[in-house]
Structure 1
């Protein structure tokens, strides 16, 4: 069922955090400083929010209000009914690096990762924590020792999956009724943790650099491999069942479309902030796959 990738949105800086919601594909543009949405084919492109602090992870409260991570503010913002953005959760005293991707559970609790070190400045890689922002804005650390927690998803049986970009792995936790993450385990391991913590040595040592990710209806976890220029479908235990090489680096993905079988992916020539701020070469591409989204 796979087809050649089709570009549905172009002329962006660096797209991340795609989400299928209310019949539209939503996404953040880091250096365009906005959240946008579009129809499945890219038509009717709308700006949903302007985020000067650099938008990343997206999610929605049970009442439908949008949540968006503001990376440099290290905060989660909430879009009110009148379109204004307010601070929903302040992570500035908690996150060790820029706030990044996010998943929101059915109770409106947001689970937010952070870089943990100065990636763009070339600092040595370091482990960091994952934080939960409750609907009332309370921030709680729920996991630590994670190597760049990035794309995440919550399975139907309440397992929280998180891709660790510099960890060569996907970790899993049991998500409890009261929002705790317990029983930390490796769900998929692609290789050992890098021995050398310097960025220029660690990046080439990664077998897979799992970035943005999404879950399908059969429990497969689609992952954008940030250093492998590919999208891979992984199952528990680490087996790769499918691989798509779209001919470009990819950094995040989401399943959606009318039948759930369109895999949207965020593509750009690289992830370096200077180059991406200076150009509009980012794209959202779409590929047909066999198994629909969860």
Structure 2
């Protein structure tokens, strides 16, 4: 049964399971928050830069944060915030760190929050030392991403193309063999989470749902909510979901309707 772990979130996104806690970004509160399975909440970072969006993942235990407005990838260290890489532009969104310490960052190709017209986006590869290059283009509003545990396959949610797209990861971090991993019909994939069986949980805002699919698109499970589901993350036994009421861009910044939900699962996170 799905339960409410946390309420009163301004605009939750980018959940990550790390160190026995669920971490997520509250974009409108300019915070990264960690919460225990028992609901104990801690603000671990407050940003002094624009935070729509502010997605993150972990490199050697330290958060790597996308500062989209500045076009920077920032590393949160014990001694402060450091620039890890210059992304060379604005409008970047999701990030996933690879087993070798490199990472992938995607961008929509346009600034949704500024009301710009749609343009296809791209995926960047950032080396552990911060060198950046474009490794894929033509991405139809890139959203959640997941890497298989061996680092051999990158799965990307293309929100405007209603699909999950897979790439083979090359030894130098480049991407090849682009293919449709799952056609989602009229689904609008947002954040995703890969489980230990190789299936993917897919968040969907307009359909207020999170669906578990396998490669090829077969639906294995589906959860439905009274709010839009923006993103999800897995621990060993729980699917965590970030939901909130979505009234379009004009409704951003109103009532704090965001929640973190917890749903028990038999198949936990991929390792």
TM-score, normalised to structure 2, is 0.93
Mapped to 1, the partners of 2:16 and 2:216 lie a distance apart of 26
List alignment gaps of at least 5 residues for structure 2: none
Q: Which of 61, 68, 82 does residue 59 from structure 2 map onto?
A: 61
What is aligned with 1:194? none
Give the direction of change, closer, same or farther, for the CA distance of 1:59–1:271 in structure 2 (3 Å limit).
Answer: farther
Q: Distance in 2 between matches of 1:273 and 1:50?
A: 23
- Please point out which of 32, 39, 50 is paired with 2:36: 39
User: Cα–Cα, structure 1 residues 271 and 167, in superposed 2: closer, same or farther, change >3 Å?
Assistant: farther
Worse overlay, 14-23 or 130-139: 130-139
Structure 2: distance between partners of 1:121 and 1:239: 36
2:253 equivalent to 1:277: yes
1:220-231 correspondence to structure 2 within 5 Å = 220-231=199-210
| 1:71 aligned residue | 68
Matched, 1:236 2:236: no
Whose strand fraction is larger, Structure 1's or Structure 2's?
A: 2
**Structure 1 residue 186 displacement after superposition:** 0.9
1:165–1:104: structure 2 CA closer, same or farther, 3 Å change rule?
A: same
Select which of 87, 97, 102 maps to 1:104: 97
- Provide the aligned C-alpha RMSD in A: 1.6
CA distance in 2, matches of 1:271, 1:48: 29
Higher relative contact order (CA 8 A, sep 6+): 1
How do residues 24-173 of structure 1 correspond to structure 2 at under 5 angstroms? 24-43=21-40, 45-51=41-47, 52-54=49-51, 56-62=54-60, 64-82=61-79, 84-91=80-87, 93-95=88-90, 98-157=91-150, 158-173=152-167
Q: Indicate the SS of the match to 1:73.
A: coil
State the TM-score, normalizing by the size of structure 1. Answer: 0.86
Shift of 1:156: 2.7
- Is the Cα contact below 8 Å between 1:99 and 1:112 reproduced in 2? yes
Give secondary structure in 2 for the equivalent of 1:46: strand
Q: Which residue of 2 aligns with 1:289?
A: 265
- Alpha-carbon separation, structure 1, partners of 2:116 and 2:57: 30
Distance in 2, Cα, partners of 1:270 & 1:225: 11
Residue aligning to 2:172? 178
Change (3 A) 1:271 1:58: farther
- Report what 1:253 is aligned to: 232
SS in 1 for 2:161: coil
